């Protein structure tokens, strides 16, 4: 079983739609969780950290479910500019700070 | 926010040559930097952890003699792909962890094409 798994998609949605992605992790000792956005041939950019209590940043909401070992990202009112690949990154106890394991990413395509 | 500079952005080289990629943390010190490789439609794969003043830690399956890492200062790590071959063609990205921000920041990546 891979350490961090994501549905590769693509998710094709119309503008204004709400879309959600999940990311599962296998290491129960995981301690930190992040969502990154990556555009084609560009570096990943941090979208948001994921906290146990859940957190929201504008149209984006991230949640963590430790019992089921997954994190989720919800995007409301999708914009054309949201089209990108979304990577989840998971850090774990005992690893170097910043040493994250990434999923393969979920591709989102928002259509007019 | 913290900035990580990586260059070159892209490089084309002949098979058998060596290529050096630089990664700098511009406004923070990074005792630890990371080097990844990403093939098309694949995940970021950690190649090695670069530790300032000591040897890099390589992931399983990554040849340390082929991918030379030097982290001589708190703001600079370099990755040298020695005797590059076409199968080494990939997108290489570095990252550095900012203790101040408690976040991981990425360089802009280097697209390597070996002919």
* Residue-wise DSSP of A4-72: EEE----EEEETT--EEEEEEE--TTEEEEEEEEE-TTS--EEEEE--TT-EEETTEEEEEETTTTEEE
Q: Which residues, at least 6 apart from A90, have a Cβ–Cβ distance to it below 8 Å?
A: A3, A4, A23, A25, A27, A30, A32, A33, A34, A71, A100, A101, A102
Instruction: Indicate which of A23, A48, A90, A98 best probes the interface with B, i.e. most B CBs within 10 Å of its own CB.
Output: A98
- Residues A50, A3: Cα–Cα separation, whole Å: 18
3-state SS assignment for residue B87: helix
Q: What is the mean pLDDT of residues B8-16?
A: 96
**φ/ψ of residue A8, rounded to 5:** -70, -20
Of A70-74, B20-24, B41-45, minimum mean pLDDT range = B41-45
pLDDT tens track, chain A, 112 positions: 568 999 988 999 999 999 999 999 998 888 889 999 999 888 999 899 898 888 999 999 999 999 999 999 999 999 999 999 999 999 876 556 678 889 989 999 999 9
Chain B CB contacts of A89 under 8 Å are 104
pLDDT of residue B54: 84
Pairing of strands A106-111, A11-14: parallel
Q: Cβ distance A91 to A25 under 8 Å?
A: no
> CA of B44, closest CA in chain A: separation in Å?
6
Asked, as a colleague might, if the bond just before A10 is cis with ω within 30 of 0, I would say yes
Q: What is the mean pLDDT of residues B15-38?
A: 93
pLDDT of residue B97: 84
Q: Which residues, at least 6 apart from B57, have a Cβ–Cβ distance to it below 8 Å?
A: B48, B49, B51
What residues does A36 pair with on adjacent strands? A46, A87
Using a pLDDT cut of 90, give the percent of chain B over it.
69
pLDDT of residue B2: 63
Higher-confidence residue of B72 and B61: namely B61
pLDDT of residue A95: 59
Chain A CB contacts of B109 under 8 Å are 41-43
Higher-confidence residue of B32 and A18: namely A18
Nearest residue in B to A37, CA atom = B106
Higher-confidence residue of A78 and B40: namely A78
Using a CB–CB cut-off of 8 Å, the residues of A that contact B are 8, 34, 41-46, 49, 87, 89, 96-105
pLDDT of residue A14: 97
pLDDT of residue A98: 76
- Residues B96, B64: Cα–Cα separation, whole Å: 20
- Residues B41, A46: Cα–Cα separation, whole Å: 19
CA torsion through residues B55, B59, B64, B67, sign: negative
Q: Which residues, at least 6 apart from B52, have a Cβ–Cβ distance to it below 8 Å?
A: B30, B31, B32, B71, B72, B73, B74
Higher-confidence residue of A27 and B12: namely B12
pLDDT of residue A105: 92
């Amino acid at each position: 079983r891979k350490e961090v798994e994501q549905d590769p998609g693509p998710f094709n949605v119309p503008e204004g739609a709400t879309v959600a992605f999940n990311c599962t992790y296998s290491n129960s000792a995981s301690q930190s969780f992040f969502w990154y956005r990556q555009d084609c041939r560009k570096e990943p950019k941090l979208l948001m950290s994921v906290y146990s209590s859940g957190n929201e940043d504008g149209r984006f909401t991230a949640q963590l479910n430790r019992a089921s070992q997954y994190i989720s990202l919800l995007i409301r009112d999708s914009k054309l500019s949201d089209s990108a690949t979304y990577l989840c990154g998971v850090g774990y106890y005992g690893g170097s700070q910043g040493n994250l394991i990434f999923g393969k990413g979920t591709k989102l395509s928002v259509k007019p | 926010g913290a900035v990580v500079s990586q260059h070159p952005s892209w490089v084309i080289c002949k098979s058998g040559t060596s290529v050096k990629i630089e990664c700098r943390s511009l406004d923070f010190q990074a005792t630890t930097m990371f080097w990844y490789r990403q093939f098309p439609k694949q995940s970021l794969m950690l190649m090695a952890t670069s530790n300032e003043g000591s040897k890099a830690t390589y992931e399983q399956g990554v040849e340390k003699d082929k991918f030379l890492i030097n982290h001589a200062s708190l703001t600079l790590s370099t990755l040298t792909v020695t005797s590059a071959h076409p199968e080494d063609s990939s997108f290489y990205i570095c990252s550095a962890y900012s203790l101040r921000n408690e976040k991981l920041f990425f360089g802009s990546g280097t697209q390597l094409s070996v002919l």
